[in-house]
Amino acid sequence: MTITAKQKRDCASKVEKPEMRLSIEKSSPGRRAIAFKNSINAEATVPQGLARRTPPRLPELSELDVVRHYTGLSRNAFSVDTNFYPLGSCTMKYNPKINEEAAALEGFSGLHPLAHDSAAQGTLEMLYDLEKRLCALCGMDAFTLQPAAGAHGEFTGLLIARAYFDRLGMKDRTEIICPDSAHGTNPATAAMLGFSPVNIKSGADGRVDPADLKAHLSGRTAVVMLTIPNTLGIFESRIEEIAEMAHKAGALVYMDGANMNALIGIVRPGDLGVDIMHINAHKTFSTPHGGGGPGAGGIGVKKALEDFLPVPRVVKEGKAYRTDNDRPFSIGKVKAFFGNTGVLVRAYAYLLTHSRKELCGIAENAILNANYLKSRLQDAYPARSGEYCMHECVLTPPAELTEKGLKTLDVAKRLLDYGFHAPTIYFPLIVHEAIMIEPTETESRETMDAFADAMLKINEEGKADPQLLKDAPFNTPVKRLDEVTAARQPNLRW
Ligand SMILES: *Cc1c(COP(=O)(O)O)cnc(C)c1O
């Protein structure tokens, strides 16, 4: 007798998972892991008036309780270290562990933020050299590493554009042109800084239409802001022509370079006419990220904009490094000290462990992997664009599934049962029911095949038993959430 999908589902929903409890709820009076005798006498080191009168309410647990508790928690969390994570636009690639060792070096991790320059030479040298290397890779003249994320880099870059036009007395340059295929942070950043975002539609090929751009360029345009490759995973192949048009109109060109993973070592945006760009160290240069941090979104600028970069700048005098705050045209500080230095150390280690040729290989393999998945999947999940993609591809659910009332969300939820993180869904906004897949270069062919097999299987499952997809996932610690209630009446306490 064969078991039907419905019976399997009923069985799965009947198995009760061990209850998730807080460590404090598992506490039992007097239970201990290891009790250190003769450890520091805290009471003696804390001034009398500041010492607490009642002991802290800490969980009382055995060593095994603690090990199981934290191992259990770590298994509930999804990460690149455990499974494939093809989250489009996020570049969730594997992070070499040597980067972690570098970031943990006492000289970096133990440095006091207020240390005198003379006691921080190693960190200053790292920052200085990283800026120089990023300039060389991106074709820019100067870099700042202060911004804490990609969006913060955009914010810093547009502040610099504002300062530049203000200094030229062009206060009426208030518009930022963003194509509809730009990352959402682009128009959002423009609006946040008081600019008016001007939206232009992409052409049928997913690229900026120069004629449409021309119609929107004017003496009010401050910046033409492009995401390259754009959110459809397509390279803006007319970028030089676009940059020339922008410059003729007196505007600057900003490139959102969060997706440099597709270009690194191959394309230098500065050579294409880009005046300001940000990189995402936590994507392209491999830092574990997710859930909002930690990040580093340094920006590079051309010579004419260098004076406006945030202070302090790191300068080299002879063999010594020094922080320089004497920059009268600087926009000031955008982050405490030097930004998320730990992320920058990881980026630096990543650059030092890859030759120029290997960096090109990163981009080439990122592109190859995305096209491999696209070609394996596009018969079952129609692609937004017929041409080759860059580092990511945008697919959609087929009519056979949508006719049965199935959505991208159902496919994504079912993928979780197969042990994969879902791709980015419903983004970019210009593609209805988008499924945006970015495999990255660090994944093997076997992993991508397993993912493609699962996607194809889900396609078959959806056609035969749509309810299976609607009820998925079955194997995750938390089942499908009531998203409306979660948004309207969030339960924010345990
Ligand atoms: C990720 C991303 C951003 C935003 O970067 P954060 O570090 O999350 O602020 C901006 N643009 C593009 C194209 C991105 O992929």
CATH code (residue 446): 3.90.1150.10
pLDDT above 80 for 136: yes
- Domain at 292, CATH number: 3.40.640.10
Neighbours of 323 (CB within 10 A): 16
* 192 within domain boundaries: yes
Q: Do 112 and 225 belong together in one domain?
A: yes
Region of poorest pLDDT, from 183-192, 381-390, 423-432, 458-467: 381-390
**Average pLDDT of the chain?**
93
Buried b (16+ CB within 10 A) or exposed e, 113-122: eeeeeeebee
Buried b (16+ CB within 10 A) or exposed e, 249-260: bebbbbbbbbbb
Given this model, what pLDDT does residue 491 score? 84
* 35 within domain boundaries: no
Q: Do 348 and 449 belong together in one domain?
A: no
Atom of ligand 1 nearest to the CA of 154: 10
Q: Do 234 and 193 belong together in one domain?
A: yes
The domain boundary residue, chosen from 352, 371, 397: 352
- Whether ligand 1 lies within 6 angstroms of the CB of 89 is answered as yes
- Whether ligand 1 lies within 6 angstroms of the CB of 183 is answered as yes
- Rounded to a whole number of angstroms, the CA Rg of the chain reads 26
Average pLDDT over residues 446-467: 98
pLDDT in tens, 153-181: 999 999 999 999 999 999 999 999 999 99
> What is the total count of domains within the chain?
2
pLDDT confidence of 476, banded at 50, 70, 90?
confident
- Whether ligand 1 lies within 6 angstroms of the CB of 459 is answered as no
Q: Do 322 and 364 belong together in one domain?
A: no
Counting every residue written for the chain, the total comes to 494
Q: Do 215 and 311 belong together in one domain?
A: yes
pLDDT above 70 for 18: no
Q: Do 442 and 370 belong together in one domain?
A: yes
Which of 67-76, 280-289, 305-314 ranks highest by mean pLDDT? 305-314
Q: Do 341 and 375 belong together in one domain?
A: no
Given this model, what pLDDT does residue 160 score? 98
- Whether ligand 1 lies within 6 angstroms of the CB of 421 is answered as no
The domain boundary residue, chosen from 322, 352, 382: 352
Q: Is this prediction's pTM over 0.75? A: yes
* 138 within domain boundaries: yes
Atom of ligand 1 nearest to the CA of 280: 7
pLDDT in tens, 19-37: 678 999 999 999 988 766 6
* 133 within domain boundaries: yes
Region of poorest pLDDT, from 53-57, 247-251, 457-461: 53-57
- Whether ligand 1 lies within 6 angstroms of the CB of 147 is answered as no
Q: Do 315 and 427 belong together in one domain?
A: no
Given this model, what pLDDT does residue 10 score? 65
Q: Do 341 and 387 belong together in one domain?
A: no
- What domain range includes position 282? 97-352
* 37 within domain boundaries: no
Given this model, what pLDDT does residue 144 score? 98
Average pLDDT over residues 210-231: 96
* 452 within domain boundaries: yes
pLDDT confidence of 450, banded at 50, 70, 90?
very high
Q: Do 210 and 321 belong together in one domain?
A: yes
Q: Do 137 and 199 belong together in one domain?
A: yes
pLDDT above 60 for 15: no
pLDDT in tens, 298-339: 999 999 999 999 999 999 999 999 999 999 999 999 999 999
CA distance linking residue 442 with residue 95, whole number of Å: 9
Q: ω before 490 within 30° of 0 (cis)?
A: no
Average pLDDT over residues 258-285: 97
* 264 within domain boundaries: yes
CA distance linking residue 294 with residue 296, whole number of Å: 7
pLDDT in tens, 429-444: 999 999 999 999 999 9
Given this model, what pLDDT does residue 218 score? 97
The domain boundary residue, chosen from 304, 330, 352: 352
- Whether ligand 1 lies within 6 angstroms of the CB of 230 is answered as no
Q: Could you tell me the distance, in angstroms and rounded to a whole number, from the CA of residue 372 to the centre of ligand 1?
A: 24
* 167 within domain boundaries: yes
Q: Do 256 and 400 belong together in one domain?
A: no
Atom of ligand 1 nearest to the CA of 151: 9
CA distance linking residue 359 with residue 363, whole number of Å: 7
pLDDT confidence of 50, banded at 50, 70, 90?
confident
Q: Could you tell me the distance, in angstroms and rounded to a whole number, from the CA of residue 231 to the centre of ligand 1?
A: 11
